[in-house]
A and B are shown apart, each in its own frame.
Chain A
């Protein structure tokens, strides 16, 4: 379990207890977090689960693989160093209290 803090597009915070083994994307869609579309179901093919991970944590996550890097080219909102696809972030206890910001557009 880890508490993930989702900051929705217009600032509302939603804190979700996400089970270990779920992805940050799944924690969002299962708990009504606004702004994460996840059109492709988590298969790293659509770029509609784009999030900005808090700067303090971005380097602690396992690096994105080649497929994720490729899809990040297609996200609707501005790509920043802390941009990730939420479907590629697996929840572990180490992620507890991590903050992710949801951009205002997923395309």
Chain B
């Protein structure tokens, strides 16, 4: 049951800027929608997406999880491998990202934030992306992965480029693929260094690990490391920027968080629900599946719109209100199920500590631009620039 009048085009700048009205139409009128623009089905309701996340046998990640997948990536990363191998791969590294093992990095996050803040308070207006989130997330990621110092800015620029797509050609452009290949080469050099001189760091462990006697393939080591770099810098940076946007636009909520920084935890969770940077991921159907009167065929791709699930009033009352007292358990801002974001604990910790520090120095800020330059990405949503003015 297709309506010629309604389109859902994840390449459209309109969707980058504000996907939520589109999501509402999808949920209400076309809960299983074939998008000719995306060349895939789109699921938008919370229940359907949750079930898909749980049913990996039907909704496979092995053909890629990014809406625009990068070449040769599918099958070689955590997010693009199905159980049982996925579980073994993840089991090898997830301890390094567990909340209980992150105490060591807290001071590092605070220091990175303070360094960045010094640059922000030197001016009346600062760019949250360039002056704060990109600096902090690079430092945190480098520390987490034990990457050699130097090249921070370059790695950051490449990580941000690799998640974007060309809205005109409707695919990854040469500059995006080149950025991805640059990060791979960078990861390869670090892996080689660690193999030559193994240490007690994540990449050393990862590059020498075995699963039940099977070694990780070179591709798995390389591409998983590449993904960790992308996620730690771009995804986390994007989320921090979305949180800054919410704090800038919801002044009362920000003031409450400034007055009582313990409220940041709940404000962050509500941001993850309200406008997570991780808007849409994809799966590939392993078998024909009927849903809402549509027949999706084996081999079809399916978009799981987490950003829509999080605004589904069937699940969250008054979903379009940013309410920091909501405590939105079960939101899909980090995805969910076996592939739920590996960086969940570090993302929450880094965002909370960064904003504790920021709010001590800059408790009051407003957005300068009404219209933001949204990143052209079919998967992620965050602005490329967020100018904030201090009073």
CA separation between A45 and B98, bound complex, in Å? 7
In the bound complex, how far is the Cα of B94 from the Cα of A66, in angstroms?
14
- Please determine whether A90 and B54 come into contact, CB atoms closer than 8 angstroms: yes
* Interface membership of B298, Cβ < 8 A: no
Residues on B close to A: CB < 8 A?
A: 47, 50-51, 53-55, 87, 90-91, 94, 97-100, 315, 329-330, 334-342, 344-345
How many residues on chain A are close to B (CB under 8 Å)? Answer: 23
* Residue A46 CB within 8 A of the other chain: yes
The reply to whether B330 and A66 form a contact with Cβ atoms under 8 Å apart is no
- Beyond A19-B51, A46-B99, is A39–B344 a contact (Cβ under 8 Å)? yes
How far does the Cβ of B231 sit from chain A's closest Cβ, in whole Å?
Answer: 14
Query: How far is it, in angstroms, between the C-alpha of A74 and the C-alpha of B95 when the chains are bound?
Result: 11
B345 touching A46, Cβ below 8 Å: yes
B340–A42 touching, CB < 8 Å: yes
Distance in angstroms between the alpha carbons of A22 and B46 in the assembled complex: 12
B51 with A22: CB separation less than 8 A: yes
Q: Bound complex: CA of A19 vs CA of B49, how far in Å?
A: 13
**A29 engages B99 (CB within 8 Å):** no
A41 and B91 in contact (CB under 8 A), knowing A26-B330, A29-B330? Answer: no
Most A-side CB within 10 Å, residue of B338, B341, B342: B338
17 contacts between A and B (CB under 8 A): A21-B51, A22-B50, A22-B54, A38-B330, A39-B344, A41-B334, A41-B337, A42-B338, A43-B338, A44-B87, A46-B98, A46-B344, A46-B345, A65-B87, A67-B90, A70-B91, A107-B100
A22 to B50: give the CA distance in the assembly, Å. Answer: 8
- CB-CB under 8 A from A56, the residues of chain B are none
